[in-house]
């Protein structure tokens, strides 16, 4: 019986009576490549254009580039505004890293399955059962710090430092209902060096606690 390959990680499963005298090499390669990549592999995937990149799924022991979908962590780069990454519709855990400062990645299961998005310079730890994505919470809320003009993305949590001068934050131009952007006065200087918020759609509030200012903006559809 010839070798077959596991569904999730494409590990080579040697058939009965096969590979006499060489099964040890195949087994070692399964450990050295297939299993190690699935547990500890980190691969950078450079995408081009605004279309779709389908992750490779080569059978058996392979170089990382030939089975991208097996890797434990995937780091994506792009100079575009959007890109889609297609995954095999099988169970898997992933650490997804968006290393692009411009691109929002859509991660899709199969040709038309469930999707999640990953904003520029963000990281997510996720699981999939082959049908749906599940975001796994691993810690506190992630904040970014800004000291100059910045166009926010939906979901941003921003420490704004105006100690060196006033800062203008522009809210997303096409928000969806329920999107949020949060601000914290990083240095307690909003009273003298202002934070300016540019938007046409605004429904939110202002809260001052212990001399620091926290603003939460809820985007609504009008």
How far lies 182's CA from each of 98, 113, 159, 185, in Å? 21, 31, 9, 10
Question: Per-residue pLDDT tens for 116-144?
Answer: 999 898 899 999 999 999 999 776 677 88
Q: Does the pLDDT at position 38 exceed 70?
A: yes
User: Residue 137: beta bridge partners?
Assistant: none
How far lies 25's CA from each of 13, 32, 34, in Å? 13, 10, 13
Q: Where are the domains of the chain?
A: 4-135, 144-218
Percent of the chain's residues with pLDDT above 70:
88
Q: Does the pLDDT at position 174 exceed 60?
A: yes
Alpha-carbon distance of 119 to 156, in angstroms, equals 9
Cross-sheet strand order for the sheet of 144-146: 144-146, 157-160, 180-185, 212-218, 203-209
Q: HSE (CB half, 13 Å, CA atoms) of 17? A: 1
Average pLDDT estimate for 149-164: 89
| Other CB atoms within 10 A of residue 83 CB | 24
Give the per-residue pLDDT at 210.
42
Biggest CA pair distance of the chain: 79
């Amino acid at each position: 019986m010839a070798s077959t390959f596991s569904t999730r990680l494409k590990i080579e499963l040697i058939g009965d009576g096969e590979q006499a005298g060489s099964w040890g090499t195949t087994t070692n390669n399964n450990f050295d490549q297939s299993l190690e990549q699935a547990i500890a592999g980190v691969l950078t995937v450079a995408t081009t254009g605004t279309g779709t990149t389908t992750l490779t799924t080569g059978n058996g022991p392979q170089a990382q580039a030939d089975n991208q979908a097996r890797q434990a962590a995937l780091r994506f780069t792009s100079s575009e505004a959007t890109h889609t990454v297609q995954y095999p519709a099988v169970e898997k855990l992933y650490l997804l890293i968006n290393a692009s400062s411009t691109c929002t990645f859509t991660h899709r299961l199969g040709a038309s399955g469930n999707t999640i998005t990953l904003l520029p310079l963000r990281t997510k730890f996720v699981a999939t059962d082959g049908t749906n994505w599940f975001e796994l919470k691993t810690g506190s809320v992630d904040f970014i710090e800004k000291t100059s003009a910045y166009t926010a993305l939906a979901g941003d949590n921003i420490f704004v430092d105006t100690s060196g001068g006033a800062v203008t934050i522009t809210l997303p131009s096409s928000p969806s209902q329920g999107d949020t952007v949060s601000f914290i006065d990083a240095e307690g200087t909003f009273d003298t060096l202002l934070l300016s918020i540019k938007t046409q759609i605004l429904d939110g509030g202002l809260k001052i606690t212990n001399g620091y200012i926290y603003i939460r903006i809820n985007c609504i559809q009008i």
